[in-house]
Amino acid sequence: MKKTISLLMALVMLFAIAVPGLAADTGTETSSNSDTMSFIDGEGKLNTVIITIPQAGTSYVEYYIEGTLISTAYVVIPDSSMSRSASDEANITYTDVVEGTTQEFTEPVSNYITSEQTTMGPAVLAYTNLGTINYKTNLYDLSGNPITRSLAISQQAGTTTYAYKTINSAAGTAASVVIGVISGVLSLIFAPAGVTAAALLAAAAIAAGTTIVGGIIQGAITKQYYVQTTPYDVRATYTAGIGTTTHYFDAERYQVALSGGGYSSDYYYEGYMPWNSSSVAYMFYSAFWSDGYAGVNSYS
């Protein structure tokens, strides 16, 4: 009964407290991505995990219990491992802050992540209208009225791929190490996605019927997750009188989810999406006009 209550509490807290660090407005990738999430462990204590991704294949994890740092894990998957093969090795530096010890070791990624397979969904072979960006300008007509410019935005989705992997964790493994390896592997696909690793592991533990206590995984976990990737062609059209000018742009959308349900991340974007974000609106404008950018008046 106590175990059941702990799992239910963890599930509630996972979705109530988890903080999405990169939500819809991530049109451009930053050099370092960081996020924080919290959950209730098997002892009813608040666990908080901070993940930082300084670059693809590298993850730094800080693990706190009730506000006290108990461990850190620094994981590097070398550049030569960019093939994302399950035989890649991870260089791991694990520090037990409570005991004051540090271990440096190298292990195959397959000790933590295995069974990759990829499936593909259908492409959408038609453009769908998204809306219109109405820009401000610093220009005026002969009557002194401000001139506005608008771009009609539409998109066409390409073939969606689902890259499946399986989280493997033996009982007694430090959660920060497992999170670090998962994070490093995810970041090889798309760096900002690496920050979802803590929430993914917490959900996987619940799905496997086990708990995390004192930062240590109490039972074996074998759970599959996937990264959904969808490429897009984004079309922007400017109409002036009877003439039109059209430019095409590339974008991709990513999502991390636990197979069978239990966890699904926010969408992460790369390139010219989401269309109605300030950074992407600026990039669209710069592709059409070279005069001073005055901002967006509205999206419609």
Quickly state the pLDDT bin for 79 (edges 50, 70, 90): low
Residues above pLDDT 90, as percent of the chain: 71
CA 74 to chain CA centroid, nearest Å:
19
Residue scoring higher pLDDT (292 or 201): 201
Phi, psi of 86 (to 5 degrees): -65, -15
Q: Taking residues 65-87, what's their average pLDDT?
A: 77
The total number of structural domains that make up the chain: 1
pLDDT exceeds cutoff 90 at 241? no
Helix (H/G/I), strand (E/B), else coil: 286: helix
Q: What is the mean pLDDT of residues 66-73?
A: 97
The residue ranking higher by pLDDT, 146 or 271, is 271
Does residue 15 register a pLDDT over 60? no
Strand partners, 245: 238
CB neighbours of residue 265 within 10 Å: 24
- Cis bond leading into 274, ω under 30°? yes
Q: Does residue 76 surpass a pLDDT of 70? A: yes
d(CA 102, CA 276): 46
Helices and strands, counts by H and E, the chain: 4, 16
Contact 54, 77 (CB under 8 A): no
Residue 32, pLDDT score: 65
**What domain range is 76 assigned to?**
2-299
**What Rg value do the Cα atoms of the chain yield, rounded?**
23
Mean pLDDT, the chain, whole residue set: 86
Show the tokens assigned to 149: 């410019």
20 pLDDT band, cuts 50/70/90, is: very low
**Whether residue 9 has pLDDT greater than 70:** no
- Tokens, residue 44: 């009813």
pLDDT for 107-155, tens place per residue?
999 899 987 788 988 777 899 999 999 999 988 888 888 888 999 999 9
CA distance 94 to 216: 13
Mean pLDDT within 37-48: 94
Beta carbons within 10 angstroms of residue 71's beta carbon: 22
Q: Return the top range by mean pLDDT from 9-23, 68-82, 273-287.
A: 273-287
Mean pLDDT across the stretch 25-49? 77
Question: What tens digit of pLDDT does each residue of 242-254 get?
Answer: 889 999 999 999 9
**Tell me, what's the pLDDT at 3?**
39
